Amino acid sequence: MGGIDDWLQRLSWIALISLPFLVVLGGYVALRRFRPFEQDLGDALQEAQTSRLVEILRLIEDQGIREARATVLIDVRRQEQRGENWWEGDDRLHRAAEHLCSSYDYVGGVVNFDASGRVGQFFLETWGEDIIRVHDVLARYLDFCRKSGAAAYDEFSWLAQEAKLIHRSPPPAEPEHPIRTVIRHLQS
């Protein structure tokens, strides 16, 4: 019996020594099998980010939003410079401001929810100055809405704050035409 016990003891030692190697080998094989899954997951996340960005761009470039933005930046700005409470006397201006604020509030919520931050970063780098400009024009209206208990548009304000972090200098009162920008750079 002593011979069999020695062999069994040697086999148990060999098993104990080889067990960590087998576990490592099994883990390596499992990781190799999960690598395509990881790539598929990365592709799916990239596609989700792209679809989120496309959704935001469709909203921002919607005809109604573009008209509301033009109304706010032209007509409301003119009323704001006079210090008038334009939202009380003109339904068209009030609807345009409300439409634009709720749209930017929605975009702010989507950007704030984006875990990667890539969609928000791209959006804010590209349209940040416009958001800052609109938020500045509608500052008194936003204060009025918050005081009256109506929609607070907190995500819109958050979006404007994030845009200000990216665009450190405030946007010009009147944006410079792209051709003038090129000419100015060529002259300097």
> In this structure, are residues 100 and 72 in contact, taking their beta carbons and an 8 Å threshold?
yes
Rg (C-alpha) for the chain, rounded Å, is 30
Q: What is the pLDDT of residue 188?
A: 57
CB of 72 within 8 A of CB of 62? no
CA distance 92 to 18: 79
Instruction: Take residue 2 and report the two structure tokens written for it.
Output: 């002593």
- The dihedral through the CA atoms of 57, 61, 65, 69 has a sign that is positive
pLDDT in single tens digits along all 188 residues of the chain: 567 878 888 888 888 888 888 888 888 877 777 777 666 666 666 666 667 777 777 888 888 888 999 999 999 998 888 888 888 888 898 899 999 988 998 888 888 776 566 777 878 888 888 999 999 999 999 988 888 776 578 888 888 998 888 876 555 556 666 666 666 666 65
